[in-house]
Structure 1
Amino acid sequence: MRTLYTGLAWTVAGAVVVQAAAIAFAFSGMLNLVSEGGVVDKALLEGFQAAGVGEAGFLVHGLVGGVVIPLVAVALLIVSFFVRERGSTMWAAIVLGLVALQVTLGFSVTDLPYLGLVHGANALAVVAAASVAALRMRRSRGESATEEATSRAVAA
């Protein structure tokens, strides 16, 4: 279970990195479209017919951020109940809470564009919390192995 927990935590952190790459790709493609004489307007955004480089980045950003990361964060919390390691459930809950905030900010950004600043900063918090959750498992696994080796040596 510890390995699954660690893997899920690293998956959340890695997926956020994919998010950053996808949105950077999308905006680069959008800039390329404009530099070649294209126009970004409401019709383009609602029609999903940009057919330019980077358009898939918006789709990847939306799917990974709206579906994949929340599902993995929920799975992390569920697995944390079976890990039986001090702090695992707390860190999984922190990750899930930050992910819920991130999704809320992502859907609210169209109404309040300045929330994009918080959305980007919160992404860093999600990566940090997921990384701490994963690293705490590695550290506790090392301590358990040391204690077990010590107890075997004493018994011998």
Structure 2
Amino acid sequence: MKLKNTQGFTLIELVLVIVLLGILAATAAPKFINLKSDAIIANLNALEGSLKSANQLVYSKSIVQNETIGDGVISIGNVNVDTYYGSIKADALNIVNAIDSSFTVLTSPTASFTTNWGVYKVPNAGVQIFPNGYDISSNCLLYYIEADENNSAFYSQTTNGC
């Protein structure tokens, strides 16, 4: 008994299918994978965690120094951090002193900077912290308000523009 001579796909057909799949993957992948945005949001989450941890340490030290009512000052290493009711006072320089990272104190929420983070003091309303390459118009920031006699410290992220 003799078998029929069967043929598979030709090399040309295989190459065409691979090329078409490559084109589809190249156009569809960026819509489903946004690694830059995910990385920026992860960095904001990490910064918020660092700020919360720093605030816990500052509060603990404020209790020891009896600085938990109203304005106070504690020293961390060789820098001073202003406190208000035991939490880090919402001032750009205090954020820089309390967290060891690469910050620039901004004079405007639209100012550009080259460090990892820009910190802007909102008059009478806390601080906004922006990742490098973003500003107030981008809707990508961490917002912090110090504690007061009735409320604990407040943290909020806006990430829809990251």
| TM-score, scaled relative to structure 2 | 0.37
| TM-score, scaled relative to structure 1 | 0.38
Higher strand share: 2
Name the larger-Rg structure: 2
Higher helix share: 1
Higher relative contact order (CA 8 A, sep 6+): 1
